[in-house]
Amino acid sequence: MISRIDLRGRELSRRELLAELPRAEVDVEHAGAVVAPILDAVRTRGAVALREYAERFDGVRPARLRVAAQDVAAAVDALDPDVREALEETIRRVREVHSAQRPDDFTVQVAPGAQVRQRWLPVRRVGLYVPGGLAVYPSSVVMNVVAAQEAGVGSLAVASPPQKDSDGLPDAVVLATCALLGVDEVYAVGGAQAIGMFAYGAAGAEEVDGETLCEPVDVVTGPGNVYVAAAKRLVRGVVGIDAEAGPTEIAILADATADPVHVAADLVSQAEHDPLAAAVLVTPSVELAGAVEAKLVDRIDSTFHRGRVATALDGSQSAIVLVDDLEAGLDVVNAYGAEHLEIQTVDAAAVAERVTSAGAIFVGAYSPVSLGDYMAGSNHVLPTGGCAHFASGLGVHSFLRAVQVIEYDADALGQVADRIVALADAEGLPAHGEAVRARF
């Protein structure tokens, strides 16, 4: 069962506090050694290597690595009407939020005839990875694709593992979601090999592949296991990446007014993702802690993925953290920097305003993480492992570049010419100054 960490009556520095808090241990370095030869094989052998790895890791050899357009369309026709309605509403809400995220270009008139403009330009092409191991994630298709589309990206490709029970196609709901979003470039490729295909492109091997199976992309996004994270680390610099996503996390800051049923249900909801998922409750209420522990027992016994949930809650990455008061609780959650942070306290909105590190903040009893996973309109691809201290979740900004445009006329340059020369000479770069002088 979930452990307790008692921080009451202790004054800890930030370093000491971080050492006390639970966190999943993920050996990305070891995984990197495993995936490096996979990436090299995909780079040099293209579709041949991709088919070999599909047989080895997914237990199936796809007839087509790039899914035929008719198979993508057929998945929509076969989609359960209730699921389709839910997906369409998710797409609408996520698009509405992300359409508001794009920053405006601006122009600054530094002096007469001296102008600096900033333009936001989308990347040319992106590769979006959708996992298909312990669970499949059509919701991740929505989060990745909509953000890229609203950024104005012109070329989108999706990869998801082939499924043995689907004749080597990706999950049918994943395919249907691609179709609903207007994405027709979909690959039955999973794991680190999919990241390699996106980063380097892949030559075709069979007639159905064409000479080039997949063109390289500029940015790779999407969640995955430790091997996907390691592959993204290794190709970073060849392409941009969103983040090295680790196991999912939920932290809940709650006081005595929180409903232990809600708290326990939310902890279990994230624990069912992965045996390494982190579930952390931070509270000054010993009574709430005890009530949540009791409710967790009932929830674990009745939940579908009980073995996975029990392993996650029993792991060193999960705990109930007891603190002196909400002020101390805020110190804890700000140091932890959770992927998902719920605030279930009196005046939750005011408490949430004092949070400085979290991937996403869920305010009050009726804003559970599950809402954000599917239909809040926010993005559920979020920083894990404390990366919320310096990184943002996926959004339109993930696919944009800021480009500065400088335009001076002769008079404007002349006004600062002597100062440029002075600075260039001070730095020992006289040719810089001479390049200015040559114009006058």
Q: What amino acid positions are annotated as catalytic residues?
A: 339-340
- The end-to-end CA distance of the chain, in Å, is 78
CB atoms within 10 A of CB 422: 11
Instruction: Report residue 418: phi and psi, to 5°.
Output: -60, -35
Number of H helices, E strands in the chain: 17, 16
Radius of gyration of the chain (CA): 25
Residue bearing tokens 């999960």: 318
- Round to whole Å and give the CA distance between 39 and 191: 10
Angle between helices 226-235 and 191-200 (to 10 degrees): 20
DSSP letter at 236?
A: B
Contact 290, 258 (CB under 8 A): no
Angle at 195 between CA 190 and CA 200, to 5 degrees: 130
**317: closest CA among 274, 360, 380?**
274
Q: Is residue 251 within 8 Å of residue 342, measured between CB atoms? A: yes
Longest dimension (CA), the chain: 82
Measured CA to CA, the distance from residue 247 to residue 249 in angstroms comes to: 7
